[in-house]
Chain A
Amino acid sequence: MEAAAITHGHAADHEHHGPPPANRSSRVEPQLLGMLLFIISEVMVFGAFFTAYFFIRVVNGDQWFPVDGHSLPVAVAFVNTCILVSSSFTLHWAEHGVKTNNRFALKAGILSTFLLGLTFLFVQINEYVHIGFAPHDFAQASVFYGLTGLHGAHVAVGLTLLLMVVVRTWRGHYSPEEHRGVEVPGIYWHFVDVMWIVVFLSVYVL
């Protein structure tokens, strides 16, 4: 009896390798929880930049654009907003595709999301080139470049994540049962879109 227990114990030792599984105090999956906490920290970063914006417009009551004869290209930014928002729709299509095992929807959706995001970034850089003022020219310019640049950096990070998803999709990864690799970058990409709507509204429209 004792010998059998010892043998069983040894067998159990051989089955398990590495450290014991980490304690999970949350009902949320670790990968989702990581992205959730990251996005909460990102909201705080954007909040700091918006504080500078509200100091200029509300506390100081300074004139927002046009400033010193410089105005913002609202029409271009609106088209760019449409491009970015449509990329969220294509991403949602891709996610729906992977859940329903529709490989065409996954491939077309994720590739078009990446290309639309790339277009957004290209248009924004082009806007910087032609806008006619620098961040150090006046306070409004600093806030404009700060907010749109911070968002642009997030788009660049999102594009890196999406590129990984594109490559993995073409290598045949993801299935209706296992598609967390699409879902988590998807949450981030939608967050980047939500932040852009807030930035566009504050900087260009209101």
Chain B
Amino acid sequence: MRNPLRSEDAMFRFLLWTLAVAVAIVAVVELIRALS
């Protein structure tokens, strides 16, 4: 991964990526909680 701090545009895309990862983590955790 290239440095996300090189420009505002790159950092904004990094934010979107973080958001997507966060949603995925919540989905997985909620799924595990529902199954257990």
Asked, given contacts A35-B5, A39-B5, A197-B18, whether A92 binds B25 with beta carbons under 8 Å apart, the answer is no
Per-residue A-contact encoding for B8-32, CB less than 8 Å = 1, 0 else = 1101101100110010011001000
Interface flag for A169 (CB, 8 Å):
no
CA distance A35 to B4 in the complex (A): 12
Interface residue tally for chain A (C-beta within 8 Å): 23
CA distance A36 to B4 in the complex (A): 9
Are B11's CB and A187's CB within 8 A? yes
| CB interface residues, A 20-58, toward B, < 8 Å | 28, 32, 35-36, 39
CB-defined contacts of B2 to chain A, threshold 8 Å: none
Main secondary structure of the interface of B (DSSP, over half): helix
CB-defined contacts of A157 to chain B, threshold 8 Å: none
The smallest beta-carbon distance between A67 and chain B, in angstroms, is 19
Are B8's CB and A92's CB within 8 A? yes
Task: With CB as the reference atom, state the residue of chain A lying closest to B17.
Answer: A194
Interface residue tally for chain B (C-beta within 8 Å): 16
Interface flag for A80 (CB, 8 Å):
no
CA distance A205 to B26 in the complex (A): 8
Task: With CB as the reference atom, state the residue of chain A lying closest to B29.
Answer: A206
CA distance A148 to B10 in the complex (A): 26
Are B8's CB and A85's CB within 8 A? no
The listed residue (A39, A182, A190) touching B15 by CB distance below 8 A is: A190
Are A32's CB and B5's CB within 8 A? yes
CA distance A7 to B16 in the complex (A): 59
CA distance A186 to B7 in the complex (A): 9
Are B15's CB and A183's CB within 8 A? no
Are A201's CB and B5's CB within 8 A? no
Interface flag for A191 (CB, 8 Å):
yes
Are A201's CB and B15's CB within 8 A? no
17 examples of A-B residue contacts, CB within 8 angstroms: A28-B6, A32-B7, A85-B15, A88-B15, A92-B9, A182-B8, A183-B7, A186-B11, A187-B8, A190-B12, A191-B5, A191-B11, A194-B15, A205-B26, A206-B25, A206-B26, A206-B29
Q: A85-B19, A186-B11 are in contact. List 18 more A-B contacts (CB 8 A).
A: A32-B7, A35-B5, A39-B5, A85-B15, A88-B15, A91-B8, A92-B8, A183-B8, A187-B7, A190-B11, A191-B5, A193-B15, A194-B15, A197-B22, A198-B18, A201-B26, A205-B29, A206-B26
